[in-house]
Amino acid sequence: MEKKPVKIVTIGGGSSYTPELMEGFIKRYDELPIREIWLVDIEDGKEKMEIVGAMAQRMWDASPYDVKVHLTLDRREALKDADFVTTQFRVGLLNARIKDERIPFSYGMLGQETNGAGGIFKAFRTIPVILSIVEDMKELCPNAWLINFTNPSGMVTEAVMKYGKWEKVIGLCNVPVGAMMKEPETIGKTLDQLTYKFAGLNHFHWHKVYDEHGNEVTQDIIDAMYEGKDGGLPANIADVPFFKEQLDTMKMIPCGYHRYYYRQQEMLAHGLEEFNDPEKGTRGQQVKQTEAELFELYKDPNLDHKPEQLAKRGGAHYSDAACETIASIYSNANRHIVVTTKNNGAVPDLPADCAVEVSAYIGATGAKAIAFGELQPAEKGWLQCMKNMEHCVEAAAVTGDYGMALQAFILNPQIPAGTNAKRVLDELLIAHKKYLPQFAKKIAELEAEGVTIKDDVARELTEKGL
C-alpha cells in the first residue's frame, strides 16, 4: 500500500536550526515521504527565512527527492491540512534572550535561556503564542501532530495540553540525544547494545542505563565521566563536574543542566565572568555572533548541506529528535525516544496529568511513556519543587497575574528571594513590554512608578524597541 505523502509546517522557519531539520527529513525520506514543507515566520524574521529557505530548497534539490519548500508570513495559509507542525520559534528573537540573561546577571543571579528568571520570561512570551497556534490548528489541521522544540520545551508543551486542550503534542529536546550518542562509547558499547530509561522534566531529568544482558551499567558510565570521557555535554553548558560522591549515591546520571542546581555557585560565577567580559558577553550575545556567521554561510548559493559550524549553536542532534519522532508516529514504529508527554503514572512522584520528560515508545497514537518508578528523597524533592514552579509560571503566562509571577520567582531555586527578585521581575516586565500584553496593566503601573532597567545593554535594546 502506498504511503500518504506528508505535509510538514515549521513555525519559526527562519531559525538557524532549519538546515539540520532538512537534513533529518532527507535522511528519513524512504520512511517519511514528504510532499511539501512550509516554513513560517514573522515580518522581523523574513530575511532570515528567505536565506535559510533558499538553502533548504538547495538541500532538497541536491537529494534524489522532489520536495518543494514554501515560505510564508501567513501562518494560517501554511497550516491548512498539515500533517505535522513543528515549532522552533523565539518570541522577541535573540535580543529578548540577551535581556533575559543580562538583567538577572546585573543583580548577581543566573541569567540563562531556560533556567531562572530568563527561562520564566521566555515562557511568559512563548505560551500565549503557542496557544494561538493551537487555536489555528483546531480549525485548519485538527488531525495534525504538534512537535514542539521551542524552549522552555517542557512548560510550553504542558501549556498546550493543559490550557490549549490539545492532546496530539510531543515536546522534544536534544539533550537526551546527545547523552545517548556519546555515553555508550565511554564504556566500549554501541547504543543498540544499551537500554536507556529517562525520567524528570525538560532540562531537569536523570537517567539509568542497562546493557544487552540486562545488567545496569549506570555506574560504569559515571566512572568513565570522571576519567575524562565525553558524555555528550551540550556545547552551551560550562563543563563544571558534578560531585562524584553525589552521583555514586544517586546511582543515576543527571542531565547537563543540573549543573545549574548541583554546582550553582560555580555556574553562576562562570556566567557572571562572561557577563562582565565585554569581549565575550552572555551566551545569547555569543549565539548572536555565531548566528550571524551561519547566515553568511547560508547565503552561499553553492551550499547545499548543513555546515559544521551549526554544532557550535548548542542545538546539535535537534533533527535526530524531531525527525525521528515524526517518522516514528507516521510509520507506527514504536521506537524509544525521550520526549515530554503526559505523565500517566510514569513518574509516580508527580501528578498523572502533568507533563514529564521520559523515555517513551513513539507510534501512531503518540507517546507511550515507560514507567520509571519512584525517585529517592533528594530527586523527588527537587522534582516536586520544579514542577510546582512550572505550574506557577504557566498560570502567570496565561492570566498575566503578577502575584503568580512573583510566586514563580520566589519558588525558583536560581532566584534568591527578596527585594532583588522583585526588582528583576519588574525590569524584565518593562524590557519585554512589547511581547507581554497579558501583563499590560502591571507594566503601566511600573512605568508610572519610574522603574528603569539597570543594565546598559538591556536598557539600550529596550529603548530601541528591540
- pLDDT of 307 reads 87
Which 3 state secondary structure label does DSSP give 200? strand
Exposed/middle/buried for residue 227 (C-beta within 10 Å: 0-12, 13-18, 19+): exposed
The span from the CA of 28 to the CA of 50, in Å, is 24
Question: For 335-383, what is each residue's pLDDT tens digit?
Answer: 999 999 999 999 999 999 999 999 999 999 999 999 999 999 999 999 9
Assigned C-alpha cell, 346:
510514569
| Predicted pLDDT at 235 | 80
CB 99 within 8 A of CB 132: no
Does the annotation list 97 as a binding residue? Answer: yes
203 annotated ligand-binding residue = yes
This prediction's pTM? 0.96
Q: How far apart are CA 85 and CA 93, in angstroms?
A: 20
| pLDDT tens digits, one per residue of 239-250 | 999 999 999 999
Alpha carbon separation from 146 to 21, 130, 155, 419, 427 (Å, rounded): 15, 10, 14, 40, 33
The CATH classification number of 6-171 equals: 3.40.50.720
Query: For 304-308, 328-332, 385-389, 446-450, which range has the lowest pLDDT when averaged over its residues?
Result: 304-308
Q: What digits encode the pLDDT tens for the residues 132-152?
A: 999 999 999 999 999 999 999
| CA–CA distance, 448 with 259 (Å, rounded to integer) | 39
Mean pLDDT of the chain: 96
Chain centre distance of CA 290: 18
- Asked if pLDDT for residue 3 goes beyond 80, the answer is no
- Distance CA(341)–CA(355), nearest Å, equals 5
pLDDT, one tens digit per residue, over 265-287 is 999 999 999 999 999 999 999 99
- pLDDT recorded at residue 312: 66
**392-448 pLDDT tens trace:** 999 999 999 999 999 999 999 999 999 999 999 999 999 999 999 999 999 999 999
Per-residue pLDDT of 169-203, as tens digits, reads 999 999 999 999 999 999 999 999 999 999 999 99
Rounded to an integer, what distance in angstroms lies between the CA atom of residue 161 and that of residue 74? 24
Query: Is there a binding annotation on residue 385?
Result: no
392 is an annotated ligand-binding site residue = no
Active-site residues, by number, are 257
